[in-house]
């Protein structure tokens, strides 16, 4: 087993663990530490070396195993977020099931890299994968796994109070794909291939009509016709990334020619996959529908998490967790984080006092604004995060799989967005704005979560306007 070391070892994997099925005993001490995030199972470095180097450069620290036994030990001993398996590996057929079992109870997304369709993989990426593309897929799959873990915990919390958190099964209606781009023979052939595979396709000849369709009806994937300069296609992808409702819909760029492209820039613009001219319409349709099906499953989990608002247990004014419900749920989240060896952070946001706010409070206008503020808080966090109202003007967040600095950034983003919103202060009065003091803390495995919440409260600092 080894770790790709980025620029220090281009295309190489430095051996750190014993290799192959014959390896036994615990892994040797290494310099990996807890920062390793992704396991690569590969018999050689043809695919693994460049991909590991690229992922390391993007912050997805990697560790490589030559054999499945070593891979199982790695996901068992290290707090890894995901695994990537070279499908040319002789043990690839059983790799996904074996790695997921070894990682339990932590959910482990497993990506297959190469040709084939072995069972148990969350996603298969055919051909050489670009590091930026792989990082995007990893981010989506890890978030989906964390959301599923949170859903199970949240259901237990609500069941203990006599409320069932209803699960929303993915729709069994045909997958809906938006095909955005001017009519072209190859693009029409792809639309036909999607239709033959059972998908419902809708054509949008311009970016304007594409966004009209996206705002009017739900879609599971978007195919962007590259045309000559790809500018319109990339503008649609970038626009989707800037929209919170469209952010997660996978977009596939379908190229008309093999012009020189900056793939890193394309993937960073929000494109989930790129189909080169040599890829058949049937293969491209298969990739589009695989992304669409994964997106639909993830949406079902997010809807189930959001069903908590209709449970009757939430704060009636803001729709957030109440103080008591949050305390009970935080205990479960903290215990799950300890067992799964995932980080957990908490934040406290308190409305900051000021002369303008004192007038708004005295006139009752702050109380009138609180439902809107609470709704903004709930929509500015991830679906897997828990937002609560601890007091009339105090909010709290629990963020699974987040380090304290990530949590602090999330709280700052919430404070910044709400701080840019003007709230009504009554007739003939200027609107008022709300600023926050915020604090964050990471829950230690050996401390009660209430202690971490107290540390976050003690860390309260007013955010600059």
The domain in which residue 342 lies consists of 314-462
Residue 25 lies in a domain: yes
How high is the pLDDT of residue 258? 61
Note whether residue 156 is domain-resident.
no
Tokens 């308190």 correspond to what residue?
Answer: 350
Q: Are residues 330 and 458 in the same domain?
A: yes
Residues 319 and 260 in one domain: no
Q: Are residues 82 and 190 in the same domain?
A: no
Q: What number of other Cβ atoms are within 10 A of residue 246's Cβ?
A: 18
Residues 331 and 425 grouped into a single domain: yes
* Total domains present in the chain: 3
DSSP annotation of 8 reads: G
Q: Which of 112, 128, 144 is the last residue of a domain?
A: 128
Choose one of 247, 278, 305: the last residue of a domain.
305
Pair 270, 368 in one domain: no
Q: Are 64 and 92 in contact (CB under 8 A)?
A: no
What pLDDT does residue 35 have?
62
**Pairwise CA distance, residues 275 & 273, whole Å:** 7
Strands (E) in 141-276, as ranges, are 176-180, 200-204, 221-225, 251-254, 273-275
The pLDDT value recorded for residue 69 is 95
Instruction: Please report, for the domain that includes residue 445, its CATH number.
Output: 3.30.70.270
| 107 and 224 part of one domain | no
pLDDT, residue 12, reads: 30
Structure tokens at 88: 């040319």
Burial class (CB in 10 A: 0-12, 13-18, 19+), 120: middle
**What's the pLDDT score for residue 5?**
40
- Whether residues 323 and 427 share a domain: the answer is yes
Write out the chain's pLDDT in tens, 465 residues.
Answer: 554 443 333 223 333 333 333 333 333 222 233 466 899 999 998 888 899 999 998 889 999 999 999 999 999 999 899 999 999 999 999 999 999 999 989 999 999 998 888 889 998 887 678 888 888 889 889 999 999 999 999 999 999 998 888 777 778 899 999 999 888 787 788 888 999 999 999 999 888 999 999 999 999 999 998 766 678 888 898 899 888 788 889 999 887 666 666 777 888 888 888 887 777 888 889 889 989 998 998 888 888 888 777 778 899 889 899 999 999 999 999 999 999 999 999 999 999 988 778 888 888 999 999 999 999 999 899 889 999 999 999 999 999 999 999 999 999 999 999 999 999 988 888 899 999 999 999 999 999 999 999 999 998 887 765
Longest dimension (CA), the chain: 80
Where residue 37 sits, what CATH number does that domain have? 3.40.50.2300
Of the residues 246, 276, 305, which one is the last residue of a structural domain? Answer: 305
Closest C-alpha to 222, from 277, 276, 176: 176
Q: Are residues 278 and 409 in the same domain?
A: no
């Amino acid at each position: 087993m080894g770790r790709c070391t980025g620029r220090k070892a281009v295309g190489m994997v430095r051996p750190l663990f014993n290799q192959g099925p014959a390896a036994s005993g615990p892994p040797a001490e290494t310099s990996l530490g807890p920062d390793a995030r992704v396991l690569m199972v590969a018999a050689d470095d043809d695919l693994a070396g460049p991909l590991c180097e690229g992922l390391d450069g993007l912050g997805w620290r990697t560790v490589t195993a030559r054999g499945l036994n070593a891979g199982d030990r790695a996901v068992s001993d290290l707090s890894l977020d995901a695994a990537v398996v070279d499908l040319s590996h002789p043990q690839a057929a059983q790799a996904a099931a074996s790695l997921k079992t070894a990682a339990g109870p932590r959910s482990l997304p497993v990506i297959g890299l190469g040709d084939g369709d072995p069972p148990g993989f969350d996603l298969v990426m055919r051909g050489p994968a670009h590091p930026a593309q792989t990082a995007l897929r990893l981010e989506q799959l890890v978030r989906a796994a964390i959301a599923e873990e949170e859903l199970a915990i949240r259901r237990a919390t609500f069941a203990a109070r006599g409320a069932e958190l209803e699960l929303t099964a993915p729709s069994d209606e045909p997958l809906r794909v938006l095909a955005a781009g001017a009519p072209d023979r190859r693009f029409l052939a792809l639309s036909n291939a999607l239709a033959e595979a059972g998908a419902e396709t809708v054509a949008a000849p311009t970016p304007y009509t594409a966004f009209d369709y996206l705002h009017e009806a739900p879609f599971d994937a978007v195919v962007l016709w590259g045309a000559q300069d790809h500018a319109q296609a990339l503008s649609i992808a970038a626009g989707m990334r800037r929209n919170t409702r469209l952010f997660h819909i996978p977009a596939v760029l379908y190229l008309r020619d093999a012009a020189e492209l900056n793939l890193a820039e394309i993937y960073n613009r929000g494109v989930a996959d790129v189909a080169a001219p040599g890829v058949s319409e049937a293969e491209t349709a298969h990739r589009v529908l695989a992304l669409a099906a994964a997106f639909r499953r993830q949406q079902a989990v997010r809807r189930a998490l959001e069903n908590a608002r209709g449970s009757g247990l939430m704060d009636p004014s803001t729709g957030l967790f109440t103080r008591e419900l949050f305390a009970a749920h935080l205990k479960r989240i903290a215990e799950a984080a300890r067992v799964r060896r995932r980080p957990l952070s908490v934040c406290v946001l308190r409305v900051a006092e000021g002369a303008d706010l004192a007038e708004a409070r005295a006139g009752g206008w702050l109380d009138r604004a609180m439902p809107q503020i609470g709704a903004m808080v709930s929509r500015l966090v991830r679906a897997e995060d828990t937002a609560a109202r601890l007091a009339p003007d105090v909010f709290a967040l629990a963020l699974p799989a987040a380090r304290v600095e990530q949590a602090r950034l999330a709280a700052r983003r919430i404070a910044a967005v709400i701080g840019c919103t003007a709230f009504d202060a009554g007739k003939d009065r200027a609107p008022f704005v709300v600023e926050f003091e915020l604090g964050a803390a990471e829950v230690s495995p050996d401390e009660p979560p209430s202690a971490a919440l107290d540390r976050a409260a003690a860390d309260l600092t007013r955010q600059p306007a």
